[in-house]
């Protein structure tokens, strides 16, 4: 990490990719692409109907492949010219990387990777579909390398440690309702400047040093860049 640059940690959520056409988990109707989250994004769902879950994520993989980074993804990447930037994302897409960000930590896994149901450590790339009967080298069924609800979030500890070297903390495009990811805000020191960007600001009134930008991610990131330039 360059010594002369301040360190920005960004927690991003589905709202930043919504402007690239990728629907959020809960768009007001409690459904994700017409499905109850409990039916497609839990270990129980995969045990009950693995074909449904595989089909669901195969379609999500196609959706992500067809999407393109928007101005918010690109704007955060451009901050790397003047800052050290670490993106901690709840998103399973690769739009941050394609937008130019070079340091991205995926809390909830990545749609273009897969793993055995019996081995959480060995990860394989996948660009096409995962089919029922597709086996990993260990002989077990392959599944999306996604952290489902009711599963542990192994990258969370690494994300929390980032707060020790953070100079600015930015939250963009997340309702702060999905834990443990939302708890990252709790670990931000009181003195740390915190920027919350969302088209509807979540309830964060009790946190000190808050700068609220109530705009969609694309417009909000542009305003953030102006604010940081003025500091």
Q: Look-up: residue for tokens 């489902």?
A: 148
Please name the residues in contact with 166: beta carbons below 8 A apart, sequence gap of 6 or more: 7, 8, 9, 188, 192
d(CA 116, CA 93) in angstroms, rounded, equals: 20
Residues in the chain, total: 231
How do 168-172 and 210-213 pair as beta strands?
A: unpaired
Q: Classify burial at 31, counting beta carbons within 10 Å of its beta carbon; exposed 0-12, middle 13-18, buried 19 or more.
A: middle
* Catalytic residue status for 108: yes
Locate 40 and state its tokens: 């497609």
State the catalytic residue, choosing from 108, 186, 191, 211.
108
Indicate which residues carry an active-site annotation: 108
């Amino acid at each position: 990490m360059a010594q002369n640059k301040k360190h920005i940690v960004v927690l991003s959520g589905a709202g930043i990719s919504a402007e690239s056409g990728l629907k959020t988990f809960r768009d007001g109707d409690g459904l994700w692409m017409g499905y109850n989250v409990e039916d497609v994004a839990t270990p129980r769902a995969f045990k009950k109907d693995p074909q449904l879950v595989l089909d669901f994520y195969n379609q999500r993989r196609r959706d992500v492949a067809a999407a393109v980074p928007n101005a918010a993804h690109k704007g955060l990447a451009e901050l790397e010219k003047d800052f050290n930037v670490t993106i901690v994302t709840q998103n399973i897409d690769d739009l941050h990387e394609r937008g130019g960000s070079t340091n991205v930590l995926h809390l909830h896994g990545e749609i273009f990777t897969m793993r055995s149901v019996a081995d959480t450590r060995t990860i394989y790339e996948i660009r096409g579909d995962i089919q029922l009967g597709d086996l990993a080298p260990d002989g077990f069924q392959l599944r999306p390398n996604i952290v489902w609800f009711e599963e542990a979030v192994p990258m969370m500890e690494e994300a929390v440690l980032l707060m020790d070297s953070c100079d600015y903390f930015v939250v963009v495009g997340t309702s702060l309702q999905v834990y443990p990811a939302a708890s990252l805000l709790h670990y931000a020191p009181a003195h740390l400047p915190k920027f919350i960007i969302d088209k509807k600001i979540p309830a964060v009134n009790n946190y000190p040093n808050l700068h609220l930008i109530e705009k969609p991610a694309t417009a909000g990131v542009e305003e953030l860049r102006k604010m940081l330039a003025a500091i």
